[in-house]
Amino acid sequence: MRSRDGNRLSALSIFKLIFLFYSLALSAGEYLISYRYVTQNAILYNEVLSIAKAMHKCTGTPSSTLILESDGSDNLNQIISQNEDEFLSFIHALGLDVKHSEINTNLQNSSTTILTLKTTCFKVNFNDNFAKISPLN
Amino acid sequence: MKYSLLLIAFLGAGSLMADEAPVSNITINCENPKTGETCQKSPTEVIDATGMDTVVSDVPKKDAFLAKGAEVRISVIGQGVAPMNTSSPAQAYALAKRAATADAYRLLAEKVKGVRIDGQDLIKNMMVQRSTVRTTVQAMVKNANVVETTFKEGLCEVEMEIVLAHSQFSN
């Protein structure tokens, strides 16, 4: 039979764990991200990075993870724009579709290259000062 | 009697002509991949109009490009140029780097997957009016690593490499 003091101690430890959990994982969400850029004759022509909150639950398991500094913010657009180079390198490593066409007419050359990340669902956990981003495969 | 002698002579000449006609042998060697048994098809005699003997045999098997446990490292250098109307050197560098990365990805795709080439020449009155060559590449490139980036006189060069392992394709 447990004493009253013992019960209080265990209840306190449970509350501590819950508090710790909520302080570490403030919020989490799923986002749809797509990226595309066009290069024409070796000059960057157009670049689009689209980020939107998913309106329904995504399926899949999180794979490779990127951790970005968020400074307490839970605005993914802002976090990514602050760490753009890092995020784009991460996206490149995930894999991009390459579509290249080159036309040579009467010995004059022109080329167009399109690199695309198809719309992919990412799970994002916003902690105190970090955002943990993982694609769902 | 005279006619019968003539007939025999005519038939003899005909048989001689048939013997001299060109004959070719076609030999096809095949092997059963499951049992490993070789099957030899009986040589077929075919009258070849050219009079040349034709021998058809299996193309020798190519060695595997990626042996088990082996790795292939493919390295390319992509080039990109900054646009003329940039607001700062930093922007010029960033844009040129992006273009160079796209070029490096294209080169990797070309090396790994290959290029489709279509050509068209328009000739009118024995003169070439228009000569067109179209090349297209379509692929998905994953896990490419940037080795080095250099930016000199408006030209950005990105050295990129990709490692292909046997384990990636043996599922």
Q: Exposed, middle or buried: residue A21 (CB in 10 Å: 0-12, 13-18, 19+)? A: exposed
- Residue entry with tokens 């140029």: B81
CA distance B32 to chain A (A): 40
Q: How many domains does chain B have?
A: 2
Q: What is the CA radius of gyration of chain B?
A: 32
B33 and B75 share one domain:
no
Query: Is A130 within 8 Å of A118 (Cβ atoms)?
Result: no
Phi-psi region of B129 (alpha: psi -120 to 50; beta: other; left: phi over 0): alpha
- The verdict on residue B53 lying in a domain is no
B82 and B155 share one domain:
yes
B77 and B31 share one domain:
no
pLDDT tens-digit series, residues B26-78: 334 444 444 555 544 444 444 444 445 555 566 666 666 677 778 899 999 99
Assign A78 to helix, strand or coil. Answer: helix
Question: Domain residues for B6?
Answer: 2-46
Residue B103 phi, psi dihedral angles, 5° rounding? -65, -40
Q: What is the structure's pLDDT at B21?
A: 43
B92 and B150 share one domain:
yes
pLDDT tens-digit series, residues B118-161: 999 999 999 999 999 999 999 999 989 999 999 998 899 999 99
DSSP state of B143: S
Q: What is the structure's pLDDT at A92?
A: 92
Task: Flag whether pLDDT at A9 surpasses 80.
Answer: no
B147 and B77 share one domain:
yes
Q: How many domains does chain A have?
A: 1
Query: Is A50 within 8 Å of A35 (Cβ atoms)?
Result: yes
In chain A, what residues touch B161 (CB-CB under 8 Å)? none
Across the range A10-28, mean pLDDT stands at 59
Q: How many CA atoms lie within 13 A of B99 on its CB side?
A: 25
B92 and B159 share one domain:
yes
- The verdict on residue A32 lying in a domain is yes
Q: What is the structure's pLDDT at B114?
A: 95
Q: What is the structure's pLDDT at B29?
A: 45
- The verdict on residue B128 lying in a domain is yes
Q: How many CA atoms lie within 13 A of A88 on its CB side?
A: 20
Q: What is the structure's pLDDT at A79?
A: 92
- The verdict on residue B66 lying in a domain is no
In chain A, what residues touch B96 (CB-CB under 8 Å)? 44
Query: Which alpha helices (H) appear in A29-134, and where do they start and end?
Result: 76-82, 84-94
* Sign of the four-CA dihedral B136, B141, B147, B150: positive
| Tokens (6 digits) for B153 | 């006189």
Euclidean distance between CA atoms A29 and A76, whole angstroms: 10
The interface pTM score, or ipTM, of the predicted complex is 0.77
- The verdict on residue A5 lying in a domain is no
- The verdict on residue A14 lying in a domain is no
DSSP H or E stretch at residue A118: strand A108-126
Instruction: Name the residue of chain B whose CA is nearest to A64's CA.
Output: B143
B127 and B163 share one domain:
yes
Q: What is the structure's pLDDT at B47?
A: 47
Tell me which residue in B102, B106, B134 faces A37 most closely, judged by beta carbons: B102
Residue B33 phi, psi dihedral angles, 5° rounding? -65, -25
Q: Which of B77, B106, B138, B151 to mutate to test the interface with A (most CBs of A within 10 A)?
A: B106
B14 and B76 share one domain:
no
Q: What is the structure's pLDDT at B25?
A: 37
Query: Which alpha helices (H) appear in chain A, and where do they start and end?
Result: 4-24, 76-82, 84-94
B76 and B149 share one domain:
yes
Phi-psi region of A60 (alpha: psi -120 to 50; beta: other; left: phi over 0): left
Q: What is the structure's pLDDT at B146?
A: 94
B20 and B83 share one domain:
no
- The verdict on residue B51 lying in a domain is no
In chain A, what residues touch B80 (CB-CB under 8 Å)? 39, 42-44
In chain A, what residues touch B138 (CB-CB under 8 Å)? 97-100
